[in-house]
């Protein structure tokens, strides 16, 4: 890892910078169905408390990653959805890969056996990043939701742990 890069837990005091990066992703219209960032309280409730991180580069938050449960049913306790966002000026520099690798490693230490992502098909950089780190395309969900009044598809991707739940 570069010496000017640190990955640490995402804390409430990081929220303003995290929210700004999230809003940049929302503005692309190729990252999420969200059209605005939620409040800290709403975002906090929707994400696993010990599996959320910020990447700090040169003392500035450059990106964030977090996991959300896919279901409240106990059988799916080890299945989560990935969110990973980088500051618009720092995309395609390898930092997202560092951040997602960190999230994967820590998710396995926490007993998570499946990570999933729903990615818009035109977000080729995100699809490529996920594939580099062991995610596979399961297929696509056709017209799964509307964004700006237009039905959109997503590519459904999954990474199954080779360490958790294999026996």
Instruction: Over range 112-141, report the average pLDDT.
Output: 96
Confidence of residue 122 (pLDDT cuts 50, 70, 90): very high
Cα distances (angstroms) measured from residue 109 to each of 15, 21, 164:
25, 27, 9
Confidence of residue 3 (pLDDT cuts 50, 70, 90): low
DSSP percent split of the chain into helix, strand, coil, nearest 5 = 30, 35, 35
Angle, vertex CA 136, rays to CA 135 and CA 140, nearest 5: 120
Q: What is the pTM of this model?
A: 0.92
Cα distances (angstroms) measured from residue 31 to each of 15, 41, 53, 123, 129:
19, 22, 18, 7, 13
Better-scored residue on pLDDT, 1 or 9: 9
Distance, C-alpha 98 to centroid of its chain: 12
167 has a pLDDT exceeding 70 = no
Distance in angstroms (rounded) separating the CA atoms of residues 132 and 98: 12
Mean of the per-residue pLDDT values of the chain = 94
Strand order, beta sheet including 60-69: 5-9, 52-57, 60-69, 79-86, 114-119, 150-160, 136-147
Indicate the Cα dihedral angle 73, 109, 10, 75, nearest 10°.
Answer: 0
Residues in the chain: 167
Distance in angstroms (rounded) separating the CA atoms of residues 95 and 129: 11
Confidence of residue 9 (pLDDT cuts 50, 70, 90): very high
Q: Which two tokens stand for residue 88?
A: 């618009």
Give me the pLDDT at residue 1, please.
Answer: 47
Residue with tokens 């299945």: 79
Give me the pLDDT at residue 164, please.
Answer: 83
Distance in angstroms (rounded) separating the CA atoms of residues 93 and 71: 33
70 has a pLDDT exceeding 80 = yes
Instruction: Over range 88-94, report the average pLDDT.
Output: 89
């Amino acid at each position: 890892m570069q010496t000017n890069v640190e990955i640490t837990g995402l804390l409430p005091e990081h929220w303003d910078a995290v929210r700004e990066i999230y809003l940049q992703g929302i503005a692309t219209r190729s990252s999420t169905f969200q059209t605005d960032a939620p409040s800290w309280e709403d975002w906090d409730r929707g994400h696993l408390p010990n599996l959320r991180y910020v990447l700090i580069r040169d003392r500035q938050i450059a990106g964030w990653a977090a996991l959300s449960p896919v279901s409240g049913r106990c059988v799916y306790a080890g299945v989560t959805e990935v969110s990973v966002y980088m500051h618009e000026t720092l995309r395609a520099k390898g930092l997202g890969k560092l951040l997602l690798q960190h999230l994967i490693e820590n998710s396995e230490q926490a007993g998570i056996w499946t990570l999933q992502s729903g990615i818009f098909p035109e977000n080729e950089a995100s699809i490529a990043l996920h594939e580099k780190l062991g995610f596979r395309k399961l297929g696509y969900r056709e017209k799964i939701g509307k964004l700006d009044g237009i039905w959109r598809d997503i590519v459904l991707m999954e990474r199954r742990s080779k360490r958790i739940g294999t026996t």
